[in-house]
Structure 1
């Protein structure tokens, strides 16, 4: 009778600094985080002899915990790495947000890890070798099958990241890289299964193959399955979707974000006269749910978690009036005091009179009368810095038109969000609002012809004139497909993250009046 072996793979992606089972904005308990996931891993190992645990990137950024770690504890072990070491992760993949805190933080995280970080397409500019050392990992089951895991990352990182954070690093096309490495590994290592762990997503409908987004190369999951033979399983992420399915006979998964879910892959092998054969592949997404967090992880986190909570509860300023956001759609279609406040912070820090910002997520709450650090980091969760660009009037008009694409009209003629900004991945942060100019958005006009009456200091915007504009580094590099900002002259950079700039603004202005200058209008109202 033939011998059979089941290898069970567990993987996380886009955990984004969520170690503890709480929401830092409110401190309410939540069904998420690595402490709960650690319990699931332990239970799985107790039930199954062969378990391979992986992480698919965007691990170390995204919560106040990690912001506080970088500011106050960067000389100590990265807590997210410490948890994965204790969980027994065998390999990780570099995500785009790994670079947000700078090259030193991610390099330290890699060094502190008891496992390799796989990055076949992230290479040293000079040598062309994988920058973080290892393109793939071989997992050998004792007296059993051999599994190869290749790590690749979305190559779109230079479109988002501060140049200083990725100096000396090149990001090669993920699909091209796999076309090189998959046959090499198949021949050299003779694995019984090949898994690609890809910090990137699916750019087409998995069934029809129709594009679901602009094909920029940011997400190449469908292309990889269609054009790289020899892959058995593609683990994806980046888009924060929950999915399982098959593309060109490749099993594909994506397990959401924030440690709320995890991917499970069952690989069934049978021993034959010629060796182990992969006979079945099944994938599922599990939820951490109400499971108790692992006590070892909770104990490990006690000190830095207590320090984070103390930091978050510090009052830093007062608001006179109302800066709270109750309806994010209204806050995007009508000038909101919280948006104006962020614009003022950016303009003050950069000594610039035109500013661009966005409401970063739909559960942004704004500020009430007393502002704490918890309020700041829960409203502005990205470690963005600021850049002042020299833009022509035509660049500003093109950017306004790009933002106007965020809206559409429903069957009743009402302004609503364009569905492409909601699915397959919410991208509300890609709608910008401007300060220092006046403008109108006419949603009933064709895309590309919606902006009217753009004024600067009471005069029409001049297409060939140059204006200084402050915006965050993500947008300044063209993030969100704002290509009109790419390669534009940089006047100056403010190398402090926005959370710190907000804190400094309150130090200069302990009491802030909530105001909203109605410099833009969205029609029909």
Structure 2
């Protein structure tokens, strides 16, 4: 009679610093975060003899809690790692946002972890894994041998500040995974191979049609098609909620911010002394209304209290209305909040042309009394600023790129181009410019929508150069702004935008709302 074994995998991805079940912008309770997830893990351990707990990256950045930790408490244990240690997870994978606070914060997090961090394609100059291990082996009940190999999207140098990734080589995730799966199958002879990939899918998982330009940022579909010997591919990065099979490979992706988690069940049968997968299925489940784990709440108490005190500190005042009622309208025509961000960037950099974006649709702008909570909930990324030397031609190309954000509906009304909404919202890739006057005609073909570009009242000259300030993500070409890649850097401002906004309020105390209506978006 053949033996059987049942294996449960539960995993998180793109937690983005969400430990507590609250939204820091409002302090309202929310069904998300590791405190709730911890209760689920404990229950799952009690119910399953053979269980693996994994994290797929983008763990340590994304909330005011983590911004405050890095600024004020970096000498203490990283709270996200501390919680994962409490949960006793088997492995973590390095995500792209792990680098946002620099290599020291990341290395400290890895050093504090009681579990390995996997990333086979992040290597040093000798080609050895830069952090942790490429893979681990686990032997579960009845002697089933499981390999878990981790890879990270190799597109990180297109986004990250060079100083944060110095000395790290980012090898192609697909090719690296293919090499390691072959090696593991040959050397370790596992019964089950799981890949945990901090990256997503470049094609529709059912039709195979491309869903984005094939830059290499996401390679999940190709991994399933091209790599033999892969049983399960755990993904993330895109913040999507997905399960399915591609070419016989079970795939999953559990959203973001700890609202959901992936639950995978695998049944194995032993035939002629060899274990084979007889059934595998994945589902994405909500953390829901489950009570947060008291051990995690107790562990977080001191850090959370400190974070809340910091967030409630008044830092400045607004004279006028700087609240955002409609994020779409705030992009179509200049909003006082956008004007404020442009003014901060111009003053910090000394440039006279500035580029910024409304980072997401949850940004509310500033009330009359501005606290740190308001600043970090409106500017949620730890971006620094870079001044690039751009030609007029580069600027024109960038304006045409940003003009792709708009579309016309059947009534010829301006709306958002669907590619900026699905499969992942990318509203942060629509830029607004200061220091130039320009007009976007949405009805015209993509690539020739922008007209009447003026600099100081004169037509922009294609061959002239202009210093332009923008955040470090955009300066490296992030968002497919390839025209910014490898351009001369005039200046780097090492303080992040939260610090710069705070410093602006410290200098001026009360900021009067204003708008320079320098651009027009027409049907």
TM-score bracket, normalised by the shorter chain, equals: over 0.9
Q: Which residue of 2 aligns with 1:34?
A: 34
Quote how far apart the aligned CAs of 1:2 are.
2.2
Q: Which residue of 1 aligns with 2:288?
A: 289
| Contact 1:37–1:288 (CA under 8 A) maintained in structure 2 | yes
Q: Which residue of 1 aligns with 2:3?
A: 3
Distance 2:445 2:18 in 1: 41
| Contact 1:144–1:276 (CA under 8 A) maintained in structure 2 | no
Q: Which residue of 2 aligns with 1:213?
A: 212
Q: State the Cα deviation string for residues 383-413 of structure 1 (Å, max 9, x = none).
A: 0000000000000000000000000000000
Alignment gaps of 5+ in structure 2: none
SS in 1 for 2:148: strand
Q: Which residue of 1 aligns with 2:73?
A: 73
Aligned residues between the structures: 523
Distance 1:501 1:70 in 2: 16
Q: State the Cα deviation string for residues 141-169 of structure 1 (Å, max 9, x = none).
A: 14321110110000000000000000000
**Does residue 162 of the first structure (1) align with residue 146 of the second (2)?**
no
SS in 1 for 2:143: coil
Distance 2:127 2:276 in 1: 34
| Contact 2:236–2:255 (CA under 8 A) maintained in structure 1 | yes
**Does residue 303 of the first structure (1) align with residue 310 of the second (2)?**
no
Q: State the Cα deviation string for residues 196-239 of structure 1 (Å, max 9, x = none).
A: 00000001011111100110000000011111111000000000
**Does residue 460 of the first structure (1) align with residue 451 of the second (2)?**
no
Alignment map for 1:470-481 (pairs within 5 Å): 470-481=469-480
Alignment map for 1:24-103 (pairs within 5 Å): 24-103=24-103
The runs of at least 4 consecutive aligned structure 1 residues that moved more than 6 Å come to none
RMSD value over aligned CA atoms?
0.6
Distance 1:48 1:70 in 2: 37
Quote how far apart the aligned CAs of 1:293 are.
0.3
| Contact 1:234–1:253 (CA under 8 A) maintained in structure 2 | yes
Quote how far apart the aligned CAs of 1:272 are.
2.6
SS in 2 for 1:143: helix
Q: Which residue of 2 aligns with 1:12?
A: 12
Q: Which residue of 2 aligns with 1:322?
A: 321
Alignment map for 1:267-286 (pairs within 5 Å): 267-286=266-285
| Contact 2:91–2:118 (CA under 8 A) maintained in structure 1 | yes
SS in 2 for 1:202: coil
**Does residue 182 of the first structure (1) align with residue 199 of the second (2)?**
no
Q: Which residue of 1 aligns with 2:226?
A: 227
Distance 1:20 1:192 in 2: 37
Distance 1:413 1:7 in 2: 54
Q: Which residue of 2 aligns with 1:374?
A: 373
Quote how far apart the aligned CAs of 1:132 are.
0.5
Q: Which residue of 2 aligns with 1:491?
A: 490
Distance 2:437 2:445 in 1: 20
| Contact 1:7–1:51 (CA under 8 A) maintained in structure 2 | yes
Distance 1:341 1:41 in 2: 44
Distance 1:89 1:178 in 2: 22
| Contact 2:16–2:63 (CA under 8 A) maintained in structure 1 | yes
Alignment gaps of 5+ in structure 1: none
Q: Which residue of 2 aligns with 1:127?
A: 126
Quote how far apart the aligned CAs of 1:274 are.
2.4
Q: State the Cα deviation string for residues 325-384 of structure 1 (Å, max 9, x = none).
A: 010000000000000000000011011110000000011100010000000000000000
Q: State the Cα deviation string for residues 291-337 of structure 1 (Å, max 9, x = none).
A: 00000000000000000000000000000111100100000000000
SS in 1 for 2:306: helix
**Does residue 519 of the first structure (1) align with residue 511 of the second (2)?**
no
Distance 1:88 1:7 in 2: 17
Distance 1:39 1:291 in 2: 7
Distance 1:440 1:348 in 2: 25
Distance 1:457 1:273 in 2: 80
Distance 1:186 1:2 in 2: 23
More deviation, 356-365/1-10: 1-10
Distance 2:459 2:67 in 1: 42
Distance 2:395 2:439 in 1: 13
| Contact 1:5–1:144 (CA under 8 A) maintained in structure 2 | no
Distance 1:274 1:45 in 2: 28
| Contact 1:14–1:256 (CA under 8 A) maintained in structure 2 | yes
Q: State the Cα deviation string for residues 35-57 of structure 1 (Å, max 9, x = none).
A: 00000000111111111000000
- When the two structures are superposed, what TM-score results if normalisation uses the length of structure 2? 0.99
- When the two structures are superposed, what TM-score results if normalisation uses the length of structure 1? 0.99
Q: State the Cα deviation string for residues 437-480 of structure 1 (Å, max 9, x = none).
A: 11000001000000000011111101100000000000000000
